[in-house]
Amino acid sequence: MGRKRTFVIGLIGFAVASGLGGAAESSAMLFGARALQGAFAALLAPSALSLLSTTFTDPTERAKAFGVYGALAGSGAAIGLMAGGLLTDFLSWRWCLYVNIPIAAAAVLGAFSLLHERPGHAEARLDVPGVLLGCGGLGLLVYGFSEAQPHGWTSPFVLTLLTLAVLLLIAFGGWQTRARHPLLPLHIIREHNRAGCLLTMCLATIGMFGLFLFLTFYLQQILRYSPLKTGLAFLPTTGAIIVGATQISARLLPHTSPRALMVPGMTLAAAGLGILTQLTVHAEYLTHLLPAMLLLGLGMGLTFMPVMATATGGVAPQDSGVTSATVNTAQQVGGSIGTSLLNTIATSTAATYIAEHLRTPAQRPAVVRAGTVHGFATAIWWAVAVMLIGAVIAGLMVSGRGLPRPGGEERPVAEPVR
């Protein structure tokens, strides 16, 4: 269909789905609208990244462009929390969905005026078995992690879900070697730089999205912040991500190796998470939360920009779409796994703590608060481990080469935007 057309369809569909969600009169209608949002976002995000990767091929300009994109991709969740708090406090939760409509409308106008269209690949076909196997496996994996908390990790139901997930993903890998039009051409992930970036992206978002969930609960339920105050509390994280991506990574990447940014970035993020493992029911924002959030934001800014630029660099134009989609999938899957897995660990640990420490009904409020924070801290330790594993993977799998130079053999093939 072409990148521009796919981008515009994704924008319009996302806006319509957001309107349906904002006007929802039942939970079923809201969930359905959210699913529709996800479907159109799956068109929107990869086409946007694909347009970016094929438009900017000069290393310096490419670094600047991906610095902006990495800053927005990394800080989007924090910005959403702040905007959601403002809209919820002063209007209603429905405007958290309605707000997407004017933003999408402005982007559509920009797309029509600034982007150029070219025909897509008419020979391309949808890999339906690949979709069913791959999406089914990932869906069951996330669902299995989510159900581990109420049922237990050793329950037959959870073990069945996780086993089926593994089998479907193995079958997906086997099918991709035989499919005429594979959903994920395996040569995309065989290249060690790209594979290392995809794994790093997935692990980074596992830790980051899980943390945003915990901090939102912690600020509102434990420290009694309002939705607006909670959103504003995440502003330093957003600022640190933007500085890390646009002022550090974008300036250094043309002159240094991607892993020279990714490894310190993941390590800084792990250090920020490590501070948060010491959370208590009386933690102070300025002395305890703020330093951790700044370290996490700076680390993610250093990580996301080189990950996206390196993962999409050096690919043939016809592969830019599937490569961009794979990067976005790694980010979304990491966020889903982080939210479900870390939340399961937190709630299970909290339940055990409460059961062990609750002696009288009068103690219940204090014990529940202490148990909740203990669960958060335990889950964040797991997030620290995930971030450190990501740093090791980036150091071992991503090469020492910087962005390809103009005219160099690794330079991405230039192609007009379509």
Separation of CA 2 from chain center: 25
Q: What is the pLDDT of residues 272-292, one digit of tens each?
A: 999 988 888 888 888 888 999
Q: Which residue has the higher pLDDT, 187 or 128?
A: 128
For the cut 70, the answer to whether the pLDDT of residue 373 exceeds it is yes
**pLDDT at position 211:** 75
- Work out the percent of the chain whose per-residue pLDDT is above 90: 15
For the cut 50, the answer to whether the pLDDT of residue 403 exceeds it is no
Q: Which residue has the higher pLDDT, 86 or 286?
A: 286
Distance CA 301, CA 280 (A): 27
Q: What is the CATH number of domain 192-404?
A: 1.20.1250.20
Domains of the chain, by residue range, sit at 125-180, 192-404
Only one residue has tokens 């339906």, namely 128
The helix (H) or strand (E) run that includes residue 339 is helix 320-357
What letter would DSSP give residue 360?
A: S
Q: What is the pLDDT of residues 166-186, one digit of tens each?
A: 999 999 988 888 888 887 878
Residue 37 in tokens: 């949002």
For the cut 90, the answer to whether the pLDDT of residue 164 exceeds it is yes
Q: Which residue has the higher pLDDT, 316 or 345?
A: 345
Q: What is the mean pLDDT of residues 38-49?
A: 82
Name the band, by pLDDT with cuts 50, 70 and 90, for residue 74: low
Neighbouring CB atoms inside 10 A of 312's CB total 25
For the cut 70, the answer to whether the pLDDT of residue 165 exceeds it is yes
The torsion angle over the Cα atoms of residues 344, 348, 353 and 355, rounded to 10 degrees, is 150
For the cut 50, the answer to whether the pLDDT of residue 139 exceeds it is yes
Q: Which residue has the higher pLDDT, 24 or 321?
A: 24
For the cut 60, the answer to whether the pLDDT of residue 407 exceeds it is no
Distance CA 304, CA 244 (A): 9
For the cut 80, the answer to whether the pLDDT of residue 217 exceeds it is yes
Helix axes 27-55, 320-357, angle to 10 degrees: 130
Residue 228 in tokens: 């607006």
Q: Which residue has the higher pLDDT, 105 or 76?
A: 105
Predicted model pTM:
0.76
- Work out the percent of the chain whose per-residue pLDDT is above 70: 89
28 contacts: CB under 8 Å, gap ≥ 6:
none
Q: How many residues does the chain have?
A: 418
Neighbouring CB atoms inside 10 A of 125's CB total 10
Residues 354/368, Cβ–Cβ less than 8 Å: yes
Q: What is the pLDDT of residues 225-275, one digit of tens each?
A: 887 788 788 888 888 888 888 888 888 877 788 888 889 999 999 999 999
Only one residue has tokens 């609208």, namely 33
